[in-house]
Structure 1
């Protein structure tokens, strides 16, 4: 039984001209063939190509409007500028990015991965291999996002603990309380006001700073 077609909404960022002219050289022909194979692979795998966009100044607005699940950069050699535009356009709403290119410079590979690209594919990918590549890219992106959230949560919890410790210290200093007594007073006040302990502690510290 065939696998169900993926429901991912894909945007392709590609050069404005995908059809080589009569004076096209080998590089242009190769790029056109790569683009054709990529689209065949996406369509045969059942992906939903919602738009093909050029890398221009309007790309961030268009991506924000379309809200794709995954972005494919179909770039010629020297794709750094295009990639930078895509990464900047998705900075506030991160999405998996897959780069298909004919540039096999290993330096560019490392820079692309560091910039947030989930998969970097050099020319020569058969249409049948497109789906496995995107599956891996999605899985990698999800793992990285999970780790990013866990790190952000850990930092937030650490900051909360620091705020509570400062508030306890303030109460101990001003009212001559022991640490358990200060914590108990904070906890009761937070419960009475329906606030998180860290939020109440921060409010208390802010008020103390204001009053001096």
Structure 2
């Protein structure tokens, strides 16, 4: 298994040095150390870490917004070690894409198990996202096909089965999916009024 690169974010240089030592002892490689999450999105794009570890008293609104933007475009497992145990803060952090939120500081011996949990939770979350996106796409495809069939049925005075076979034949002729042909057909019908 490859060594994971970890991006460390901590405003305290002393604490960051301790974290880096703990990561090295746990078998991880430190990709970089940042003093704030201000330009996290840009730094993640540049550094491409496997995991992000943030040590903070409490994640600020800006930090959470940066994490949410990063989570949408370049999701990564994020571990936050914080002193803030407020349930609203924890919920906001989890919604922003945090995989593990640990209260009451970071102990070097806890690094590996916490990162392991964050990786597992991140993978599970990504699988749920993929399943959701796939279901959404299937629904959108089904809607487009049904709309195109409806237009064909109205224009040609044919039944649903014949409309579907017409779309399927067009798809095969054009080397496209039925949903793509349906989208094209709907767009053409809109243009023609």
TM-score (norm. length: structure 2): 0.90
1:59-92 CA-partner distances (Å, limit 9, x unpaired): 3222211111111111134644433333334431
Which residue number corresponds to residue 64 of structure 2? 83
- What is the 5 A alignment of 1:61-210? 61-77=42-58, 79-210=60-191
Range that drifts further, 105-114 or 82-91: 82-91
In the alignment, is the contact (CA less than 8 A) between 2:39 and 2:66 conserved in 1? no
Query: How many residues in Structure 1 have an aligned counterpart in Structure 2?
Result: 193
Give 1:186 deviation, angstroms. Answer: 0.8
Structure 1 runs not aligned, ≥5 long: 20-31
Which residue number corresponds to residue 13 of structure 2? 18
Give 1:160 deviation, angstroms. Answer: 0.4
In the alignment, is the contact (CA less than 8 A) between 1:55 and 1:85 conserved in 2? no
In the alignment, is the contact (CA less than 8 A) between 1:98 and 1:119 conserved in 2? yes
CA distance in 2, matches of 1:66, 1:210: 46
Match of 2:4 among 8, 11, 24: 8
Check if 1:53 corresponds to 2:34.
yes
**Structure with larger RCO (C-alpha < 8 A, sep 6+):** 1
Runs of 4 or more above 6 Å deviation:
none
Is the radius of gyration larger for structure 1 or structure 2? 1
- How well do the aligned residues superpose, as a CA RMSD in angstroms? 1.9
